[in-house]
Structure 1
Amino acid sequence: MSDTVEGRWAEIFGPRYLAVTTILALGVSLFAFNAFLSSTALPSAVQELGGLEVISWATTLYLVFAIVGGAAAAMLKRRLGSRRALLSLAGVFLIGTLVAAIATDMSQVLVGRAIQGFGEGVVAALCFALIPELFPSRLVPKVFGMQAMVWAVAAFGGPAGAGALTELISWRAAFLINVPLVLIFGAMVLAVVPRGDTPPQAHGFPGLRLLTIGGGTMLVALAAIVPPVQAAALLVGAIVALCAAVWLDRRSAERLMPLDAFSLRSAVGAGLWMFLLMPIAGAATGVYLVLLLQQLWGYGPTHAAVIGAVMAIGWSLSSVTVANVRQRSTRRILIRTGPVMLALGLVGVLGGLQMAQPGLVIVAQLAIGMGFGISNGYTMLTIMEASSDAERDRTSALLPTTQSAGNALGAALAGVAANAAGYAAATDTGAILAAIVPLFILAMAFAGLAFLAALRMVQLAKVTPISAFASE
C-alpha cells in the first residue's frame, strides 16, 4: 500500500491494531508515569525511612539506568526476540517496583529505582522498535501522536495520581500501582507479539560499552549538583565517555547502535543529533520555569505547575493535529519549523519573565510544545525510513534513549549556566532576572544547532533512497 494513502485514527484503535496500540501505550505510560513519580511519592517515603540527602538520586538512578537499558534494547531484541525481551524486562521492572515498594530504608528504594529504570528503559525502547514492524508507515504518525498524548496525560496525571495514592493510602501504593499494569502488559504481549525465532548468541556481552554509556550519563547527572567549575569538568568527561562509547560501538562485532549513529553524513545521524539537541534546548524551561514563577511572581506550586504543563498540552495537541500530513514536502517543512518554534518560544518565555507578562509566557510555552509536537513524529519517521532494514531495530530503539540523554544533558547544562551566572545566590527579582539570561541564551543556541541538524537531515533524506518501509 502506498504511503500516500491516508491513515485514519480509527485504524490504530480498530480491531486489527487495538491490542498492539494498547501494548505500546502501556509501555510508554509506565516509563512516563515513573519518570514523574518521585516528585510526589518519595517525599513521603523520606519522612518514613529517612535519607533526605539522597532523594534526588531516586530520579537520577532511574534515568541513568533507563538510558543504559535503552542502549542495550536492540541487542536484547536480537538475542531474545521481541516477545521474550519484552516479557523478561517487564519482569525486571516488576522486581524493581517490588524492591522499592517494600523497602525498609532509602538505599533499598534507590536499588529498586535503578532496577526499574533498566527494565523500563529496555521496554520503552523495544516499543519504539516494534512500531515499524507492526504498523504500516501511513499509520506511524498516528502512533507517535498517540504516544505524545500518553506523555501529556502522564505529565498531568502522573504527579496527581501518585500524590492521591500517597495521601489516601501510602507512598508504597504509588509504586505498587505498577504491578497490575505490568501484568496486563505481559498478558497482552503473550497474546499479540509473535514468538519468533531467537538468533544464536554469537558474541559476548557489550559490558564495556554499556559501562561507558552509564558512566558518561552518571557524570552528566553529577554535573547538575556540583559547583560550576567542577560541573564543567564533569561535562567534558561525560562528552568524552559518550563519544568513546559511540566509537567503540562502531568497531564492535555486535553493535548497540546503527553504524551511522550521530554521523552528519547520513540522515539517520543528523536526525539523531536533532533528537538530542532539542531536549537539551527545552530543558531551560523544563527545569527552571516552575521555580521561577514561584520566585518572581509568588505563584503557588499548583499554579506554577499548570503553566509549566502548558508545554505538554501544546506538544500533544500539535502532534495529533499534524498526524494527517501526507506530503513529504510538508513533513520536511514541519521538521525544519520545529526547532524554530522552540527557539521563538524560549525568546518568548524569557521576554515574558523579564516584562512580567504571564500571557506571553503561556503563549511561548505553547510554542515550545508545538515545536516538539510538529517535528518529533516526522523526525522519527524520517530516521526510520532512512535506516536500512538491517539497522532499523538499532535505530528505532535508540530514539527514546537519545531523547532521555538529551533531557539529562540539558538539565545538567542548564544548571551549570544558571549557577555560573549567580542564580543560586540571587536573592532579589533583578538578580534572578539577570542570572537567567545566560541560561536562555544557551538554550536558544542549542535550538539553533537543532535547526542546522534538521536542515542536514532533510537534505540527506532527499537524496538517500528510502527503504522498503516507505512502500508498505
Structure 2
Amino acid sequence: MTETVEGRWAEIFGPRYLPVTLILCLGVSLFAFNAFLSSTALPSAVQELGGVEVISWATTLYLVFAIVGGAAAAMLKRRLGSRWSLLSMAGMFLAGTLIAAVAGDMTQVLAGRAIQGLGEGVVAALCFALIPELFPSRLVPKVFGMQAVVWAVAAFGGPAGAGALTELISWRAAFLINVPLVLIFCAMVLAVVPRGGKPVDAHGFPGLRLLAIGGGTMLVALAAVAPAAQALALLLVAAVVLATAVWLDRRSQERLMPPDAFSSRTAVGSGLWMFLLMPIAGATTGVYLVLILQQVWDYGPTHAAIVGAVMAIGWSLSSVTVANVRKRSTRRILIRTGPVLLAVGLLSVLAGLQFAQPVVLIVGQLLIGMGFGISNGYIMLTIMESSSDVERDRTSALLPTTQSAGNALGAALAGVAANAAGYAAATTQQAMLSAIVPLFAVGVVFAVLAFLAGLRLVQLSKTATIATFAEE
C-alpha cells in the first residue's frame, strides 16, 4: 500500500487541503470557544448589567439553539448549498455576537447568545458534513484528530483567553474577538468552498419538528437545575418529546435526519446511539469534578480546572495517535475499547477521590479522555461509511448535534443523581464522598450501554463490509 493510499498528516496541511482544514478547524473552534466563554466573561457582565439570577441561561440558550441549528443544518445545505449556508449562518452568529457585545441589559445578552448558538450550531454541523465531501476517506481520521486538538485547545484557551480579555479590556471584548475570526472564516469560505449544484426545491418548513427538538432540549436543561423528583419528570417528558420529533421526521418528506437515525437495526442508528451515550457518561466528571475537587480537597479554581482539563489532553493526544490506523479490524477494536476505557476511567476517578489518591484520579481522567479519543473518530467514520450517498449530509450534520444533546442530557442526569444522593445538602467531606458514588455509578451504566451499542455497530458494519466484498 502506498503512502498516498494510507494518507499522511502532511496531506491535510499541504497546498491542496490546507485551506479546507483551516476552514473546518476555525468553524469548530468558534463553537468550542463560545461554549466555554460564559464561565469567565459573563460574571463581569452581570456585575455591570445586573441579572445574576439568569447568568446560567447564557450557556443554556446558546447550547439549546445550537442543537436546533445543528438539526436544521442538512436541510439548509440542500436548500442554499454549502457556501451560502455557511455564509448566512456565520452572519447570524456575527449578529448575535454584536447584540451581546453592545447589550444594555442581560435580556439582550441572552438574546445575542441564542442567536449566536443558532448560527454557530449550523456552521459546526456543516463543517462536519463537509468532511466526507472535501476529504478522501483515508484522511478523514486525521481531520477528526485535528478537531479533537481544536476542542482541547478551546478547553484550555477558551476560558483563559476570555478571562484575559475581560480582565485587561472588558467582558465585551471577549465577544468582539469573534468579529475578525468570523470575517476571516467568511473570506475563506468564499475562496475555497465550491458553489455546489442547484439547490433542491423546498417542501415546507419543518417548524414542528424543530420546535419539538428545541423544546425537548430545553426541558433537559431545566431538569439539570430542578429538584430530583421534578428533574426526573422533566427528563421523561423530554424523552417523549424528542422521540416524537424523531418519529415525525421519519415520516416527513423533508427530513432533518437519516431515516434510520437511532435505529438499533442499522450501523448508522447504532453509531448515533453510541455517539449519544458516551457524552452522557462523560458528563459525570465534566460537570462535577472541578466542583468536587474544590469542596472535598480544597483545591483552588485554577488547580481544579487544570485537573479537569487533563481529560482533554488525553482525548487530543490519543485521537492524534490512532489517526494512522488503517486496518478495519483494528478500528473496530478501538470502537469497542473506547467505552471500556471510559468506564474504567470513571471508576478510577471515583477511587482516587475516595482514597485521596491524586495520581489515581489523574490516570482516570486520562483514561476517560483516551476512551473518547481512540473511538470517536472511527465511530464517526463508520457512521459516514455506512450511510448512503443520499443521506450522508443529514448523517454527518447530525453528529455534533447528537454529541451536544448527549452533553446536555448527561449534565441533567448527573444533576438528578447528585441531588437524589444528597450531594447539595452534604456538609462534611465524608458525606460528599458518599453522595458522589451514585453519580459515578450512573456514568458507568451509560458507558456500559455505549459499549453494547459499540458491539452492535461493529457487528452491523462488519456484515455490511462482507456483503460489499461479496457483491464485488
TM above 0.5: yes
In 2, are the aligned partners of 1:386 and 1:467 still within 8 Å (CA)?
no
User: What is the CA–CA distance in structure 2 between the aligned matches of 1:38 and 1:368, rounded to whole Å?
Assistant: 25
**1:421 equivalent in alignment to 2:421:** yes
**1:461 equivalent in alignment to 2:440:** no
Q: Measured at CA, do residues 257 and 361 of structure 1 come closer, stay the same or move farther in structure 2, by a change above 3 Å? A: same
Match of 2:31 in 1: 31
Q: Kindly report which structure 2 residues correspond to 1:66-465, keeping only aligned pairs within 5 A, or say none.
A: 66-465=66-465
Q: What is the one-letter code of the residue matched to 1:303?
A: H
User: What is the CA–CA distance in structure 1 between the aligned matches of 2:229 and 2:315, rounded to whole Å?
Assistant: 35
> Shift of residue 136 of structure 1?
0.2
> Shift of residue 46 of structure 1?
0.3
- Render the CA deviation track for 1:129-157: whole Å, top value 9, x for unaligned: 00000000000000000000000000000
3-state SS of 1:62 partner: helix
> Shift of residue 396 of structure 1?
0.1
Q: Measured at CA, do residues 90 and 299 of structure 1 come closer, stay the same or move farther in structure 2, by a change above 3 Å? A: same
In 2, are the aligned partners of 1:385 and 1:467 still within 8 Å (CA)?
no
3-state SS of 2:81 partner: helix
User: What is the CA–CA distance in structure 2 between the aligned matches of 1:211 and 1:3, rounded to whole Å?
Assistant: 48
Percent sequence identity is 83
In 2, are the aligned partners of 1:141 and 1:381 still within 8 Å (CA)?
yes
> Shift of residue 6 of structure 1?
1.2
User: What is the CA–CA distance in structure 2 between the aligned matches of 1:196 and 1:350, rounded to whole Å?
Assistant: 51
User: What is the CA–CA distance in structure 1 between the aligned matches of 2:467 and 2:240, rounded to whole Å?
Assistant: 33
Q: Measured at CA, do residues 2 and 198 of structure 1 come closer, stay the same or move farther in structure 2, by a change above 3 Å? A: farther
> Shift of residue 385 of structure 1?
0.2
User: What is the CA–CA distance in structure 2 between the aligned matches of 1:208 and 1:225, rounded to whole Å?
Assistant: 26
User: What is the CA–CA distance in structure 2 between the aligned matches of 1:297 and 1:439, rounded to whole Å?
Assistant: 18
Q: Which runs of 4+ in 1 moved over 4 A?
A: 1-4, 465-468
- Render the CA deviation track for 1:194-246: whole Å, top value 9, x for unaligned: 11223243300100000000000000000011110100000000000000000
> Shift of residue 464 of structure 1?
1.5
3-state SS of 1:198 partner: coil
User: What is the CA–CA distance in structure 2 between the aligned matches of 1:27 and 1:228, rounded to whole Å?
Assistant: 37
User: What is the CA–CA distance in structure 2 between the aligned matches of 1:442 and 1:336, rounded to whole Å?
Assistant: 20
Q: What is the one-letter code of the residue matched to 1:335?
A: I
User: What is the CA–CA distance in structure 2 between the aligned matches of 1:37 and 1:186, rounded to whole Å?
Assistant: 22
Q: Measured at CA, do residues 339 and 111 of structure 1 come closer, stay the same or move farther in structure 2, by a change above 3 Å? A: same
> Shift of residue 466 of structure 1?
8.8
3-state SS of 1:389 partner: coil
User: What is the CA–CA distance in structure 1 between the aligned matches of 2:296 and 2:229, rounded to whole Å?
Assistant: 27
In 2, are the aligned partners of 1:3 and 1:138 still within 8 Å (CA)?
no
User: What is the CA–CA distance in structure 2 between the aligned matches of 1:436 and 1:348, rounded to whole Å?
Assistant: 13
User: What is the CA–CA distance in structure 2 between the aligned matches of 1:145 and 1:200, rounded to whole Å?
Assistant: 33
- Render the CA deviation track for 1:12-54: whole Å, top value 9, x for unaligned: 0100000000000000000000000000000000000000000
User: What is the CA–CA distance in structure 2 between the aligned matches of 1:60 and 1:418, rounded to whole Å?
Assistant: 20
Relative to the length of structure 1, the TM-score reads: 0.98
User: What is the CA–CA distance in structure 2 between the aligned matches of 1:247 and 1:201, rounded to whole Å?
Assistant: 23
User: What is the CA–CA distance in structure 2 between the aligned matches of 1:170 and 1:450, rounded to whole Å?
Assistant: 43
User: What is the CA–CA distance in structure 2 between the aligned matches of 1:81 and 1:200, rounded to whole Å?
Assistant: 9
- Render the CA deviation track for 1:73-131: whole Å, top value 9, x for unaligned: 00000000000000000000000000000000000000000000000000000000000
User: What is the CA–CA distance in structure 2 between the aligned matches of 1:3 and 1:190, rounded to whole Å?
Assistant: 31
User: What is the CA–CA distance in structure 1 between the aligned matches of 2:2 and 2:106, rounded to whole Å?
Assistant: 54
User: What is the CA–CA distance in structure 2 between the aligned matches of 1:143 and 1:457, rounded to whole Å?
Assistant: 22
> Shift of residue 326 of structure 1?
0.4
* Structure 1 residues not aligned, in runs of 5+: none
> Shift of residue 5 of structure 1?
2.3
Cα RMSD for the two superposed structures: 1.3
User: What is the CA–CA distance in structure 1 between the aligned matches of 2:195 and 2:201, rounded to whole Å?
Assistant: 17
> Shift of residue 467 of structure 1?
11
Match of 1:10 in 2: 10
User: What is the CA–CA distance in structure 2 between the aligned matches of 1:84 and 1:436, rounded to whole Å?
Assistant: 48
User: What is the CA–CA distance in structure 2 between the aligned matches of 1:139 and 1:202, rounded to whole Å?
Assistant: 33
Match of 2:51 in 1: 51
Q: Measured at CA, do residues 4 and 11 of structure 1 come closer, stay the same or move farther in structure 2, by a change above 3 Å? A: closer
In 2, are the aligned partners of 1:417 and 1:439 still within 8 Å (CA)?
yes
In 1, are the aligned partners of 2:89 and 2:119 still within 8 Å (CA)?
yes
Q: Measured at CA, do residues 430 and 232 of structure 1 come closer, stay the same or move farther in structure 2, by a change above 3 Å? A: same
* Structure 2 residues not aligned, in runs of 5+: none
In 2, are the aligned partners of 1:345 and 1:368 still within 8 Å (CA)?
yes
In 1, are the aligned partners of 2:79 and 2:202 still within 8 Å (CA)?
no
3-state SS of 1:252 partner: coil
Q: What is the one-letter code of the residue matched to 2:279?
A: P
User: What is the CA–CA distance in structure 2 between the aligned matches of 1:286 and 1:6, rounded to whole Å?
Assistant: 35
